[in-house]
Every structure is written in structure tokens, then in C-alpha cells.
Amino acid sequence: MEDLYDFTITYGLIPKVLPEFKQITAGGALLGTGIESSSFKFGLFERTVTQMEIITGEGSVMTIDKNKNADLFYSFSGSYGTLGILTLLEIELIEAKPFVQLSYHKITDYKTAVDKIAQISKNTEIDFLDSILFSRRNVIIMEGKMVGEFPKNSTFSKNSQKNFPSLKTQNTNNKQTPQKIKPTLSLRYFWSKWFYRHVFFVTNIDSEKEENDKGIVHKDFLPLKDYIFRYDRCAFWMGTFLEKDTLKYRLLLGWLRSSYVLYRMRKLWTARNFEEKLYTHDFIVPHENVEGFIQESIQKMFVHPLWLCPVTTNTSNVENDQIQNIIFSISDSRNKINQKKNSNLGKIQDDLFVNVGIYGLPDVVDFGVPYRECFDIVNKYMENFACFLNAKKFLYGSSYYSPQSFWRCYNKNVYDKIRSKYNAHLFPDIYQKIGNCGLRSKLSNLNKNEK
């Protein structure tokens, strides 16, 4: 994602949805589901894709979009390479500005925070929205807005004017800073304070902060790139499980705490050792069920912080007959909810979900034994509970679904039909690839290699 950002920003543009880890690929964001704080406006990364080039099971190259082979186009997202091999993407871009003004709201009740997120998500003047739940009584909502203008004589402006004549740039009389914006926060250095720790400090430790009439307790100005990849160092807060966040530690070993390095270190563990210690999963939950999901996840695992990121389904421009083909994404679960509420279902309207990111060391008091002794039970419970609430789990991590419970969450009939139509049986079935049987086979192979 960093390469994509660096290329598009030379034209004064960025992707509508740009996931927060620098080493995530565009293909990974599509096939494995991608989300960011602009998703409350534009939906998941897949909703910004306008065209794909894929290689089918027959070996032929096919270009697909919402008008050509639309059923495969809409079902491809989240399919983890089980419907074809992705070779090319066309995505939508938006005009960028050099800085982000970040405003922090402190909410002392997570139930109120869920409603506040929905309320702020209707604000069309902001560009970014997400939240960190530090505890039930300490939730920080962050709304961001791109501000400033690129200097007229900069590379950004020159490329924008040359390739995108419709974009307007401000006449600054060759000044380098058309708007006098001085960043108050920088996250670009490996010794910089980890973002989530900064958020906690400026909203909690500094007791002199008072809310203004809009409920804002603090504001930051930071460079756009720093904001986009603010969670990359420390991988949200997973780097703190290895060492505490101190300046001395960051100066010595902070360069080892990027999301990429942490991911490589995770590969040194066996899958079982990782799953026994850390719970790292994302669930996209319908807004009306978020409160119950948060309450249950805290009660069962007591993991803090949680990442809350609102996301719209953004399917208002999807034809009715194609809605069912969105198998592994959120519009399908919204479709089920609407069918329960209204048997005469018309065109699906955009609606709000909230991604609940649970990344931490569980303390499972409810089960009476340490997490390492019941991690499979906890995982199965959370998967089934999410399905009960019409939520969807991102499938990037290990899954513990039985075949029956997995296909209760996803439309197997449509999936099999598309695999058959486009001769995708050369590729593994998605449950075989990421499901419980896939995990068992991986663990079995690992154990054999260890022996």
C-alpha cells in the first residue's frame, strides 16, 4: 500500500480506501478484504474496484467488471483466490490534500460511543472516521479531514494539471506552503510514539483538556502519509505484547516494530503456538448489533483495546440480481437482515456496519481455564456468535468453523454455481483453504516436520 500511495500522490490523488499497513497489497485487500477509516464513506476496498483482469481455471485471461461477467466480478472479493488468479486491478482515486486535521471525541460509555459513531458517519464534510475502545468507559472517536493545498510549483500540482485537467490547484505565487499548517504530530520515524499511545495520552493523561461545544477534547494536524499508515508501526498495539512503549526502547528497537517485521516474526512461530497466545481477528457487525457483540467479546476474552471502524455497504449502485453474488462481503449479511425485516425486498440501500478489530492476549475468565487450553473453543464460540448477529469474520486468520457452520454464514449454492460456471475447480474450495480442515492439515504438516 505504501508503493500505491507514493505513486498516486505524485498526481495529487490517493485511493478512496487505503488499508493502514504498508505491506498489504492491492490484491490482498481485494481477495482478503480491506478496510480503513474512509470506509464509512466508500465501503470496503472492493467497492472502489471498477475492473479486474483474472486468469480462469482454464488458463484464459478474462477482464471483468460490473457489466461484463458481473456475477464473477461481485463474487471475487473475499474469495481468497478460489475463483481465479488476479493479475490486474483498476481502482477509483480521489483528490488528496497534504495534511489531516484529526479531532478526538472522548466517550465514557461504549454504548453511547456506538451511537456517536453512527451520528458522525453522516457528516459528509469529514474524510476519515474510526475509534479506539480502551475500556468500556473510555472510547476515543477520531474524525479526520484532509486540509491544505499542494504548492502550485510542486510535483503534485504539475502532474495533476497535466494528467487530470479537471483538478484545480491553488495559485500560491510560488509559495511552498499555501496554508500555514504546522503539523503537531509526526509518526514517520521509528522512534516516534506509537499512535494508539499518543491517542491515550492526549485524551486521558492530560487532565487539563476540556471538551468544546462539539465534544472535541483534542486536535492534531499531521501529514497525510503519517495519518494513512498511523497503525503500521506497532501493528495497532500488537508490538506492545513484546515490550513496553518507552522512548529508550523505540530508539533501540523501534525499527523492528513495523507491521511487516512483526508479521515475519509471527512466521517463526508454529500456527498453533500463535493461536494459543494471541487472538487477532476482525468482525464486520451490523450497527444495530455492535453493542451486543462488544459486550460479549469483552466478557468472553477481556481484550483491550478494540478497534472500531464504521463501514458502509455501498451497494446502492449494485443491481438487485447481482446482490446475491456478493458472497463473502457485508452486503450479503445486510441482505439477510433486510429479508428478515421485509419479505418484499427491493433495492438494497447503503447501511452502516462497524468493523470490530480484536487484537490481543485474551484473559478468558468465563471458561475457567487459561486461553491456551481453550483457544479453539473460544474461537468457535466467537465465530458462531458473530454468525448469529449476521456479522462477517475476515478470513485472513485461522478459522475454526465446521463445514456446516461455515456455510450457514456464506451462500454455498451461489459459490458452487460460480465455480462451476467459470471452471474454478482447479483451485481449492475456500473452506479447504482457510477453514477448520485447512488449519488441521497445516498443523498436521507442521507437527510432522517438527518430528
Task: Please give the Cα distance from 35 to 175 (Å, whole number).
Answer: 36
pLDDT confidence of residue 163: 52
pLDDT confidence of residue 99: 93
Specify whether 219 is located in the same domain as 319.
no
Specify whether 427 is located in the same domain as 335.
yes
User: In this structure, are residues 302 and 365 in contact, taking their beta carbons and an 8 Å threshold?
Assistant: yes
Q: Give the helix ranges, DSSP H, for 254-349.
A: 259-266, 271-277, 287-301, 320-323, 330-341
Task: Please give the Cα distance from 382 to 108 (Å, whole number).
Answer: 26
Specify whether 295 is located in the same domain as 180.
no
* Sites in the chain below the pLDDT cut of 50: 160, 164-178, 207-208, 332-334, 337, 339-350, 437-451
Task: Please give the Cα distance from 56 to 238 (Å, whole number).
Answer: 38
What is the separation, in whole angstroms, between the first and last Cα of the chain? 39
Specify whether 277 is located in the same domain as 340.
yes
* Residue where a domain stops, chosen among 60, 95, 130: 95
Task: Please give the Cα distance from 51 to 72 (Å, whole number).
Answer: 11
pLDDT confidence of residue 409: 87
Specify whether 18 is located in the same domain as 115.
no
10 Å Cβ neighbour count for 385?
16
Q: Kindly state the cell numbers that stand for 385.
A: 456468535
pLDDT confidence of residue 360: 85
User: In this structure, are residues 400 and 382 in contact, taking their beta carbons and an 8 Å threshold?
Assistant: no
Nearest one of 107, 130, 95 to 9, comparing CA atoms: 95
In a domain, 315, yes or no: yes
User: In this structure, are residues 100 and 147 in contact, taking their beta carbons and an 8 Å threshold?
Assistant: yes
Classify 45 in phi/psi space as left (phi over 0), alpha (psi -120 to 50) or beta: alpha
**Partners of 289 in the beta sheet?**
none
Q: What are phi and psi of 80, to 5 degrees?
A: 55, 40
Specify whether 88 is located in the same domain as 125.
no
Nearest one of 293, 241, 249, 289 to 265, comparing CA atoms: 241
Task: Please give the Cα distance from 185 to 291 (Å, whole number).
Answer: 32
In a domain, 167, yes or no: no
In a domain, 298, yes or no: yes
Nearest one of 89, 305, 48 to 197, comparing CA atoms: 305
How many domains does the chain fold into? 3
Residue 101, classified by CB atoms within 10 Å of its CB into exposed (0-12), middle (13-18) or buried (19+), is buried
Nearest one of 337, 317, 335 to 326, comparing CA atoms: 335
User: In this structure, are residues 100 and 222 in contact, taking their beta carbons and an 8 Å threshold?
Assistant: yes
Task: Please give the Cα distance from 325 to 57 (Å, whole number).
Answer: 19
Q: Cα dist. 360→163, 239, 397 in Å?
A: 45, 10, 14
Classify 81 in phi/psi space as left (phi over 0), alpha (psi -120 to 50) or beta: left
In a domain, 39, yes or no: yes
User: In this structure, are residues 250 and 233 in contact, taking their beta carbons and an 8 Å threshold?
Assistant: no
Specify whether 67 is located in the same domain as 129.
no
Nearest one of 267, 263, 239, 260 to 3, comparing CA atoms: 260
The radius of gyration of the chain's CA atoms, rounded to the nearest angstrom, is 22
Listed in sequence order, the residues at least 6 apart from 234 whose beta carbon sits closer than 8 Å to its beta carbon are 194, 195, 196, 240, 245, 257
Specify whether 13 is located in the same domain as 46.
yes
Specify whether 443 is located in the same domain as 419.
yes
User: In this structure, are residues 87 and 30 in contact, taking their beta carbons and an 8 Å threshold?
Assistant: no
Name the one residue in this structure whose C-alpha cell is 482515486.
93
In a domain, 241, yes or no: no
User: In this structure, are residues 84 and 57 in contact, taking their beta carbons and an 8 Å threshold?
Assistant: yes
Task: Please give the Cα distance from 305 to 142 (Å, whole number).
Answer: 15
Specify whether 47 is located in the same domain as 109.
no
Specify whether 320 is located in the same domain as 381.
yes
Q: Kindly state the cell numbers that stand for 15.
A: 485511493
Task: Please give the Cα distance from 448 to 451 (Å, whole number).
Answer: 5
pTM above 0.75, yes or no: yes
Q: Kindly state the cell numbers that stand for 394.
A: 475476515
Query: What is the CATH classification number for the domain harbouring 51?
Result: 3.30.465.10
Name the one residue in this structure whose C-alpha cell is 458462531.
384
pLDDT confidence of residue 386: 93
Specify whether 414 is located in the same domain as 304.
yes
- Reported as a single tens digit per residue, the pLDDT across 329-369 is 776 444 554 544 443 333 333 489 999 999 988 877 666 77
Task: Please give the Cα distance from 381 to 237 (Å, whole number).
Answer: 24
In a domain, 289, yes or no: yes
Whole domain around residue 122: which residue ranges? 99-148+176-230
Alpha-carbon torsion 201, 207, 210, 211, what sign?
positive
Listed in sequence order, the residues at least 6 apart from 335 whose beta carbon sits closer than 8 Å to its beta carbon are 323, 324, 326, 345, 348
